[in-house]
Amino acid sequence: MENADGKDREFFENKKQLGGSSEVFIPLGVFRNESSGLEAISMYMKNVLGLRYCDIANLLNRDDRTIWGAFNSAVEKDGMQKEIADGFKVPVSIFHDRSLSVLEAVAEYLKEQHSMKYCRIAELLNRDQRTVWTVYTRAKKKRKNAQFN
All structural domains of the chain, each given as residue ranges with its CATH number in brackets, are 1-93 (1.10.10), 97-149 (no CATH)
CA distance 80 to 68: 16
Q: pLDDT of the chain along its 149 residues, tens only?
A: 344 444 444 544 544 443 445 789 999 988 887 788 999 999 999 999 999 999 999 999 999 999 999 999 988 886 555 556 557 899 999 999 999 999 999 999 999 999 999 999 999 988 999 999 999 999 999 988 888 76
CA distances to 7, 86, 119, 123 from 28, rounded to whole Å, are 19, 6, 15, 10
Classify residue 46 by burial, with Cβ atoms within 10 Å: 0-12, 13-18, 19+: buried
Does residue 14 contact residue 44 with C-beta atoms inside 8 Å? no
Q: Specify the pLDDT at position 101.
A: 94
Residue 140 one-letter amino acid? K
DSSP-assigned states of every residue in 97-129: -TTS-HHHHHHHHHHHHH---HHHHHHHHTS-H
In angstroms, rounded to a whole number, what is the distance separating the alpha carbons of residues 45 and 145? 31
Report the chain's terminal Cα–Cα distance, integer Å.
Answer: 41
Q: How far apart are CA 122 and CA 29, in angstroms?
A: 12
Amino acid at 43: M
pLDDT for 1 equals 37
